[in-house]
Structure 1
């Protein structure tokens, strides 16, 4: 038996093992209503009274012994008929960053955290309610935020040896196990249209998880999870093309000198996930000597200089006036999340971080210690794209054009490498009579840029990101006018 066939056999066995647990145990089936009551969040500390919101949060064990569990937060659609709306799973990347810190309270969730972390205020652009105006009425979705892998946020493992297995494979397998068990706890969602969305290193998480769901459905010869597609933003995808795009983006956006650009092109080949010593040296020089204190996630916005921000986030913090633009962008938002989610009353309300879990570490926006033990990182997830495009899933990719961490240049390089037939050629798409970005439709994939957005597109362009979501969920091209 060849090595390739052996790997395929082992993969099939894994899928059968995972999907075998998808059949609802009779005891669990009788108990799901009690489990939902246990997970129901009546009210978060400082939560505004309106709009009314049904929300749930808690833990789902993902290991056989129950000692490894992932934390979730479900915020249902505020529509009159939420049961008719799709379910969207949102993942943040890092690896090691929390979907609560970024997706939930900085980008698309129903609430934002006040600057003093004493309360919350409503997000007018939340994806679970949308924003209605004279121009359009946006689609709504039920939002499921997952802190993954174990060790991120409130998610935990009580087995120290688990830290030796961090990586793409374990993350995908645990997330799939989570979904199978979550749908047992929430069987009313089993028939819903289901989409997986995310950004940054979730460019690995999302397609890898989508493949496990797709393979699980095939192995079971039935639809276990009603996956319709996935969408990723500023997504880490292919080591070579992503890094080639970073070098070109640095130079085309005047972040580095001509001389440094030439040296990078000569010494950085990006044929391995480990940089050569000479490439690392010139990258460090560019960062320390030429680029300066710029947030590469959003190169035209202020950085946060707030001295009290924990260094665990890995980003410098500026007590910059938070309302310097119409979206109310505040670069210090992750520090507010760190304060808020470490409050004991918040943790009690969310059923998090307490007995019997006793998570031994404080909640942080990012746990970069995970990276020290990240053992398997796919060089490229493009083979998964090729497989899932053939499977007919709805796949969209978008890029905020002010992101230098995972820039639009690299994304365009790897999309071009797929050599997909073009269905609709490059065109400007519009929101409220303004150019919101540019788009091109391929056979099996839609690509869009979002003008004036950084790494986290909904932060700086929340209305445009809502329009993007609406058209994605409806399967309609972005508007030409």
Structure 2
């Protein structure tokens, strides 16, 4: 009797275990995307890393590449932060490698040796689940089987990135309840608000899965070609890079319109300003900039890096990447048509929180535009 009653119990218990194990598999990140090692790093990852492709257009074979670093803190509660580099055309691996990724790297010490990776104590993954995305297709390791996709625009890019997010959350449903933020720098001043607008509209339209969107962040962001460009000469004067006399002459000739000079006198003054700034490091005006031919030849050779590392994306790697269309992983500069970002004021009138920042020593995208942006 005991044996006969225990059999149904065991069957029910086994069924429950099978159901729970299936549920666990459904509610867990895909193990096939798990990254277990990287070239040049011999330690233990402080958290799980995942990488792969998400198809955003089946008919064209358009696929976006991502690298996801799980938080080292509390992954189930820490925010998911999407990171986008600018350019346009720069891989988000720029941010991963040079800025706030989980690793710092240094030269291997001898010609042809592999660079050594070390853990970055200031990685954003200390407090967030950070998602690096190469977007649009043709940037970094993202690609399309239809080369016409490499001629694109900001709205198409935002639409594809939104499709990516919806599909990505289907792959990683355990992060759907986490707060979600969109972040980026430089041309991400366009990418971020246009994508934020797409996400906000998708939530309003009831698209599933629902993204727990909490806000967006832009650092040194592009806003508008003329708006940004007209701020460069006043910034150079304010930082003491050009004299009072030169600034006053330029201002008198150009009447504050420096980006599109209206007369020959203005162009002449701008040529003088350009000459004064010819050796400027536009990323950090306090640092030197190497413009001489000899230095460029040395740097372009990358002689201390092995060719396999320089050509990351063309060779077989532990990452699930295809051969790069353009032959390199970062940055590809493409022609850009002038425009502006109407979603800034649109989002500003909504309830979506926004944070903008700008380094006061960067000439590339100056902080003066933020004083105007935040007051408009």
State TM-score, norm by structure 2.
0.80
Preserved CA contact (<8 Å) 1:268 1:275: no
Q: For this pair of structures, how many residues does the alignment match? A: 343
CA distance in 2, matches of 1:35, 1:407: 40
> Within 5 Å, which residues of 2 pair with 1:269-284?
283=270
Preserved CA contact (<8 Å) 1:45 1:345: no
CA distance in 1, matches of 2:308, 2:269: 37
Structure 1 pair 169–290 and aligned structure 2 pair: CA distance change class (3 A):
same
Aligned to 2:122: 125
Aligned to 2:362: 403
Higher CA-based Rg: 2
Q: In the TM superposition, what is the alpha-carbon distance from 1:270 to its structure 2 partner?
A: 5.6
CA distance in 2, matches of 1:391, 1:188: 28
Please say if 1:62 is aligned against 2:52.
no
Q: In the TM superposition, what is the alpha-carbon distance from 1:37 to its structure 2 partner?
A: 1.8
Preserved CA contact (<8 Å) 2:102 2:124: yes
CA distance in 1, matches of 2:306, 2:272: 32
CA distance in 1, matches of 2:361, 2:349: 32
CA distance in 1, matches of 2:267, 2:306: 33
Aligned to 1:84: 77
Preserved CA contact (<8 Å) 1:401 1:408: yes
State the SS of the aligned residue for 1:83.
coil
Aligned to 2:195: 209
Aligned to 1:53: 47
Structure 1 pair 361–163 and aligned structure 2 pair: CA distance change class (3 A):
closer
Unpaired stretches in structure 2, ≥5 consecutive residues = 1-22, 109-113
Preserved CA contact (<8 Å) 2:54 2:63: yes
Aligned to 2:100: 108
Please say if 1:307 is aligned against 2:297.
yes
Please say if 1:387 is aligned against 2:373.
no
Structure 1 pair 127–411 and aligned structure 2 pair: CA distance change class (3 A):
same
Preserved CA contact (<8 Å) 1:100 1:145: yes
Aligned to 1:133: none
* 2:220 pairs with one of 234, 254, 257: 234
Partner deviation per Cα, 1:99-124 (whole Å, 9 max, x = no partner)? 102x1111111012222452211111
CA distance in 2, matches of 1:337, 1:207: 39
Q: In the TM superposition, what is the alpha-carbon distance from 1:243 to its structure 2 partner?
A: 2.0
Aligned to 1:331: none
Aligned to 1:361: 326
Q: In the TM superposition, what is the alpha-carbon distance from 1:87 to its structure 2 partner?
A: 0.2
Q: In the TM superposition, what is the alpha-carbon distance from 1:194 to its structure 2 partner?
A: 0.1
CA distance in 1, matches of 2:235, 2:63: 39
State the SS of the aligned residue for 2:220.
strand
Preserved CA contact (<8 Å) 2:62 2:145: yes
Aligned to 1:141: 128
Aligned to 1:322: none
CA distance in 1, matches of 2:271, 2:33: 46
State TM-score, norm by structure 1.
0.64
Aligned to 1:173: 159
Unpaired stretches in structure 1, ≥5 consecutive residues = 1-28, 130-139, 312-316, 320-334, 419-481
Aligned to 1:43: 37
CA distance in 2, matches of 1:115, 1:150: 31
Q: In the TM superposition, what is the alpha-carbon distance from 1:205 to its structure 2 partner?
A: 0.6
Please say if 1:340 is aligned against 2:309.
yes
CA distance in 1, matches of 2:307, 2:281: 19
Aligned to 2:246: 259
Structure 1 pair 199–276 and aligned structure 2 pair: CA distance change class (3 A):
farther
